[in-house]
């Protein structure tokens, strides 16, 4: 376990030095999500929010409703981007070092995921905390459920990042995954528009993204004061997704290493 934690720590430090070497990067991490958030907020302004089939959504808490979606989105988006950056290890020639070293592969992708999620989202979290303080009278929060849901959302985000890292580690061309998962995840997960108003085909697509369940659970405990029993369906699905993603991560790593040892080729697909 000690060696595993050392691998996780080393990968976190490496990713920090590679991608957060300039203060201007933190400015972009703040500006881009805020611009997207403001754009989504004002796109709702011309409409009568009360007519939407979301019982706890109104004109007063609209800004919190959208902000909760973007907080979750920022966690998941940062991990999609980090997995895409991780694929550059193949181009830089450092992928071979990962394979040849005795380090635990799971520790490498876990370190990459943890580093990305905390390095990339803290600015947005600080902004969101300030907005929650300003709009606190419109919060209708179940505190105990909120703590558990936030923790579960973070675990889901890290597992999502680890799964993408495992796929990007053993694939020669994964650029299409970045294209498929970046913008569609934001659209179909209910970040901008509640999934309740989606047509059936869009709802079916939204079910494939773990972000969908995280966003819905966050909004219900923060805006509708729902307890753990009332959101038990979302909690059960989230736990099943975590187990499923963990299984896929293990399978991808084992298949990739077996393929590399047998053929000498580090591209599983």
Does residue 152 form part of some domain? yes
Does residue 268 form part of some domain? no
Q: Is residue 222 predicted with pLDDT exceeding 90?
A: yes
User: How high is the pLDDT of residue 240?
Assistant: 94
* Domain containing residue 26: 2-263
How far are the Cα atoms of 8, 17, 139 from residue 148, in angstroms, in the given order?
A: 24, 32, 17
Q: In whole angstroms, what is the distance from residue 176 CA to residue 169 CA?
A: 14
Question: Is residue 54 within 8 Å of residue 36, measured between CB atoms?
Answer: no
63: which 2 tokens?
């800004």
Does residue 145 form part of some domain? yes
Average pLDDT, the chain: 79
Question: Is residue 71 within 8 Å of residue 164, measured between CB atoms?
Answer: no
Does residue 31 form part of some domain? yes
Does residue 32 form part of some domain? yes
For the chain, what is the domain count?
1
Q: Is residue 264 predicted with pLDDT exceeding 70?
A: no
DSSP character at residue 94: -
Mean pLDDT in residue range 78-89: 72
Does residue 269 form part of some domain? no
Q: Is residue 233 predicted with pLDDT exceeding 70?
A: yes
Nearest Cα neighbor of 80 from 202, 189, 200 is: 189
Does residue 246 form part of some domain? yes
Which of the listed ranges 35-44, 100-109, 178-187, 220-229 does the model predict with the highest average pLDDT? 220-229
Structure pTM? 0.83
User: How high is the pLDDT of residue 236?
Assistant: 92
Does residue 92 form part of some domain? yes
């Amino acid at each position: 376990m000690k060696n595993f934690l050392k691998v996780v720590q080393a990968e976190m430090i490496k990713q920090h030095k590679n991608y957060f070497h300039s203060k201007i990067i933190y400015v972009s991490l703040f500006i881009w999500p805020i611009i997207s958030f403001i754009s989504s907020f004002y796109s709702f302004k011309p409409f009568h929010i009360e007519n939407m089939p979301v019982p706890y959504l109104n004109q007063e808490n609209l800004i919190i409703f959208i902000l909760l979606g973007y907080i979750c989105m920022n966690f998941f988006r940062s991990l999609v981007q980090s997995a895409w950056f991780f694929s550059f290890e193949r181009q830089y020639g450092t992928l071979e070092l990962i394979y040849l070293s005795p380090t635990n592969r799971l520790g490498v992708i876990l370190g990459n995921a943890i580093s990305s999620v905390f390095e990339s989202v803290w600015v947005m979290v600080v902004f969101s905390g300030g907005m929650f303080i300003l709009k606190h009278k419109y919060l209708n929060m179940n505190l105990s459920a909120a703590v558990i849901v936030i923790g579960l959302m973070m675990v889901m985000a890290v597992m999502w990042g680890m799964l993408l890292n495992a796929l990007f580690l053993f694939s020669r061309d994964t650029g299409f995954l970045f294209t498929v998962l970046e913008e569609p995840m934001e659209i179909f997960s209910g970040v901008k528009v509640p999934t309740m108003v989606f047509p059936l085909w869009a709802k079916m697509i939204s079910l494939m993204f773990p972000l969908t369940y995280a966003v819905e659970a966050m909004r219900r405990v923060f805006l509708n004061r729902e307890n753990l029993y009332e959101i038990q369906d979302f909690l059960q699905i989230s736990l099943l997704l975590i187990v499923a993603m963990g299984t896929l991560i293990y399978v991808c790593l084992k298949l990739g290493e077996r393929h590399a040892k047998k053929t000498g080729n580090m591209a599983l697909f």
